[in-house]
């Protein structure tokens, strides 16, 4: 019998999609140190509190040991106020320190990319995340196998590889159009018990027959497994996001299932003639019409559904970034980072192709883009109001699809939350403390507090003033002193559990990795074809 958590990996392998090449060693990062001191930082702590400082932060091994206010802006700091010297020190005067960012919806590489050439190794994916300040990920699916994912999690924790902290969720095999090996509620419960024994942190659902789904969520609660669900169109007519929230689901991923919960004059979405879910153009063009068929903002149905989600303390992980191209595919396709940072096989996977997941650009019109712009307006209205009324909205990227490159796609999500109406402090709280709460690790990380794990970012500039400065490319700005344009990038160090990583070094590694892969492919293309 196949080990639980490995089912879809076996299917992928038969289809020519092997597991992503695992990271096996570490060539970046220093520490953890017995005593590391960040001197003179302005702290943005992730709780929603405004910046304050200067302060010295003392890190001992992987923990924040002390945070000491050492003065006020504009006045010299008295040495007598400062904690003793560290084994290593980082000068943070004029710099900003925030918690490390948490990506609540990730895939550590995408097996589909192997159908388009050499897939990117996990080391490439990890370095992209770390170079964008992501210190913790929630892996949603473990599509290279749960065993593979748990080994990478352990390797990261032991600093054998340079990678974020990993929270591993496995795919629940109970939907016909992906892979279905679970056919009864008891089979689902038994599968989850074995999954918990293997050490998984949670489960990624795409749906299931209602009796199986309800039993599975009950079992998750009893086992302490957290859960997230992409309410696929093939399953959502029998249970929308509110149904599964009532049954104990931890979070709804993307937007699927939310507009269906808001329907007040229908139960099933109205689909166009000729619709076929396996045609990716129909799947995604029609998905952009779901909110237009739902109850209007402020209506009785809208308010009742929102209040019930609030009563359940439910969490949304919208991953707006992964559908961003649907509003303007030309802009997303020509993003500044693709040439130097996007892996070749991933780039080919993004291109129009029938049968390729998320590669539906062979028939994308201005009408489709207008639908999706309207969709975003309504979706963002719900998310912002949910946040304003005390609900939890967390930051996730789902990168590796639809022209979104790892790391870069996460920063784009910060921009989209701000577009939705979150102010910058609310965006950062979503990306740090609230993400930690969702994952059940807020006692460990998510804010700058004594006793927590030293997951921290050191930035040359205030990220609250412009999240674009977090992109690995930086953002194009005019240098008034020289009169010349320049690329400004704020993130200087990513500290993951006390391991200090130099961001410019990571970015240089990534550019080199992509360039070398392109050179290998160019050379192979010159080789004569065998007779």
pLDDT score at 234: 87
How is residue 96 written in tokens?
A: 């900003």
Does residue 520 sit within a domain? yes
Q: What is the mean pLDDT of residues 516-523?
A: 96
Q: What is the mean pLDDT of residues 297-310?
A: 98
Q: How far apart are CA 37 and CA 47, in angstroms?
A: 22
Does residue 207 sit within a domain? no
Q: What DSSP letter does each residue of 417-469 carry, written as one string?
A: HHHHT--HHHHHHHHTHHHHHHHT-TTTSSS--TTSB--EEEESS-GGG-GGG
The Cα-based distances of 511 to 128, 246, 339, 344 in angstroms read: 10, 46, 9, 12
For residue range 333-351, list pLDDT tens digits in order: 999 999 999 999 999 999 9
Does residue 255 sit within a domain? no
Average pLDDT, the chain: 96
pLDDT score at 355: 82
**Pairing outcome for strands 179-180 and 165-171:** unpaired
For residue range 39-53, list pLDDT tens digits in order: 999 999 999 999 999
Q: Which residues, other chains included, contact 222 with Cβ-Cβ below 8 Å and sequence gap of 6+?
A: none
Does residue 82 sit within a domain? yes
Q: How far apart are CA 241 and CA 333, in angstroms?
A: 31
Does residue 245 sit within a domain? no
Q: How far apart are CA 428 and CA 457, in angstroms?
A: 12
pLDDT score at 144: 95
Closest CA to 138 of 158, 165, 171: 165
Q: Which residues, other chains included, contact 419 with Cβ-Cβ below 8 Å and sequence gap of 6+?
A: 380
Print burial letters for 423-462: b (CB count within 10 Å at least 16), e (below 16).
ebbbbbbbbbbbbbbbbebbebbbbbbeebbbbbbbbbbb
Q: What DSSP letter does each residue of 134-162 carry, written as one string?
A: EEEEEEEE-TT-HHHHHHHHHHHHTTSS-
For residue range 432-451, list pLDDT tens digits in order: 999 999 999 999 999 999 99
Does residue 218 sit within a domain? no
Q: How far apart are CA 65 and CA 32, in angstroms?
A: 13
How is residue 36 written in tokens?
A: 């590391």
For residue range 484-502, list pLDDT tens digits in order: 999 999 999 999 999 999 9
This prediction's pTM: 0.97
pLDDT score at 464: 98
For residue range 89-124, list pLDDT tens digits in order: 999 999 999 999 999 999 999 999 999 999 999 999
Could you tell me if 292 and 374 are in contact, meaning their C-beta atoms sit under 8 angstroms apart?
yes
Q: What is the mean pLDDT of residues 212-216?
A: 98
Q: Which residues, other chains included, contact 68 with Cβ-Cβ below 8 Å and sequence gap of 6+?
A: 55, 56, 57, 58, 81, 82, 83
Q: What is the mean pLDDT of residues 300-327?
A: 98
Phi/psi at 47 (5° precision): -85, -10
pLDDT score at 1: 47
How is residue 130 written in tokens?
A: 């770390």
Q: How far apart are CA 524 and CA 527, in angstroms?
A: 5
Q: What is the mean pLDDT of residues 60-65?
A: 98
Does residue 312 sit within a domain? no
Domains: count for the chain: 1
Q: Helices in 199-333 by DSSP H: which ranges?
A: 210-223, 241-247, 258-261, 280-287, 300-311, 329-333
Does residue 420 sit within a domain? yes
Q: What DSSP letter does each residue of 465-514 carry, written as one string?
A: G-GGGGSTT-EEEEETTTTEEEEE--EEEEEETTEEEEHHHHHHHHHHHH
pLDDT score at 531: 64
Q: How far apart are CA 167 and CA 436, in angstroms?
A: 11
For residue range 402-436, list pLDDT tens digits in order: 999 999 999 999 999 999 999 999 999 999 999 99
Helix (H) / strand (E) containing 170? strand 165-171
Could you tell me if 487 and 473 are in contact, meaning their C-beta atoms sit under 8 angstroms apart?
yes
Whether residue 529 has pLDDT greater than 80: no
Closest CA to 283 of 333, 229, 354: 354
For residue range 193-213, list pLDDT tens digits in order: 999 999 999 999 999 999 999
The pLDDT > 70 percentage for the chain reads: 99
Strand (E) positions, 25-132? 36-43, 52-60, 63-69, 88-91, 96-99, 101-106
Whether residue 133 has pLDDT greater than 70: yes
The pLDDT > 90 percentage for the chain reads: 94
Closest CA to 405 of 486, 514, 248, 286: 514
Domain span at 329: 1-171+265-298+318-530
pLDDT score at 528: 80
């Amino acid at each position: 019998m196949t080990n639980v958590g490995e089912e879809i990996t076996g299917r992928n392998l038969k289809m020519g999609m092997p597991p992503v090449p695992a990271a096996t060693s570490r060539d970046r990062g220093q520490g953890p140190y017995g005593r590391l001191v960040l001197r003179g930082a302005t702290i943005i702590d992730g709780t929603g509190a405004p910046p304050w400082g200067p302060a010295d932060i003392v890190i001992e091994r992987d923990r924040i040991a002390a945070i000491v206010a050492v003065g006020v802006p504009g006045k010299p700091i008295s040495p007598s106020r400062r904690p003793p010297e560290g084994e290593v020190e980082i000068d943070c005067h004029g710099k900003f320190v925030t918690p490390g960012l948490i990506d609540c919806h990730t895939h550590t590489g995408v097996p589909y990319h192997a159908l388009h050439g050499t897939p990117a190794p996990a080391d490439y994916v990890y370095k992209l995340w770390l170079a964008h300040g992501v210190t913790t990920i929630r892996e949603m699916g473990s599509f290279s196998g749960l065993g593979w994912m748990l080994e990478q999690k352990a390797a990261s924790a032991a600093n054998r590889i340079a990678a974020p902290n990993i929270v591993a969720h496995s795919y629940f095999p109970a939907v016909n159009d992906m892979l279905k090996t679970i056919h009864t509620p008891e089979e689902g419960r038994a599968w989850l018990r074995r999954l918990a024994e293997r050490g998984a942190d949670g489960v990624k659902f795409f749906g299931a027959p209602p009796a199986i789904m309800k039993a599975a969520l009950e079992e998750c609660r009893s086992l302490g497994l957290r859960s997230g669900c992409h309410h696929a169109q093939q399953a959502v007519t029998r249970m929308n996001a509110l149904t599964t929230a009532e049954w104990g689901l931890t979070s709804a991923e993307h937007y699927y299932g939310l507009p269906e919960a808001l329907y007040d004059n229908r139960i099933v979405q109205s689909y166009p003639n000729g619709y076929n879910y396996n045609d990716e153009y129909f799947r995604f063009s029609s998905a952009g019409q779901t909110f237009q068929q739902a109850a209007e903002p402020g209506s009785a149905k809208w308010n009742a559904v929102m209040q019930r989600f609030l009563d359940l303390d439910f969490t949304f992980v919208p991953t707006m970034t992964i559908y961003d191209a649907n509003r303007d595919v030309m802009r997303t396709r020509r993003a500044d980072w693709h040439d130097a940072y996007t892996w070749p096989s991933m780039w080919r996977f993004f291109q129009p192709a029938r049968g390729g997941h998320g590669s539906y650009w062979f028939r994308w019109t201005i009408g489709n883009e207008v639908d999706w712009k309207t969709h975003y307006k309504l979706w963002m209205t719900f998310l912002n109001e949910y946040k304003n009324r005390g609900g939890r909205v967390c930051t996730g990227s789902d990168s590796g699809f639809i022209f979104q490159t790892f790391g870069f796609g996460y920063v784009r999500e910060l921009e989209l939350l701000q577009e939705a109406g979150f102010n910058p402090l609310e965006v950062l709280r979503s990306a740090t403390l609230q993400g930690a709460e969702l994952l059940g690790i807020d006692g460990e990380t998510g804010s700058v507090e004594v006793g927590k794990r030293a997951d921290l970012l050191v930035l040359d500039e205030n990220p609250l003033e412009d999240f674009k400065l977090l992109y690995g490319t930086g953002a194009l700005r005019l240098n008034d002193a020289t009169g010349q344009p320049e690329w400004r990038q704020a993130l200087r160090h990513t500290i993951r559990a006390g391991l200090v990583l130099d961001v410019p070094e990571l970015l240089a590694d990534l550019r080199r990795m992509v360039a070398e892969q392109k050179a290998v492919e160019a050379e192979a293309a010159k080789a004569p074809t065998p007779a």
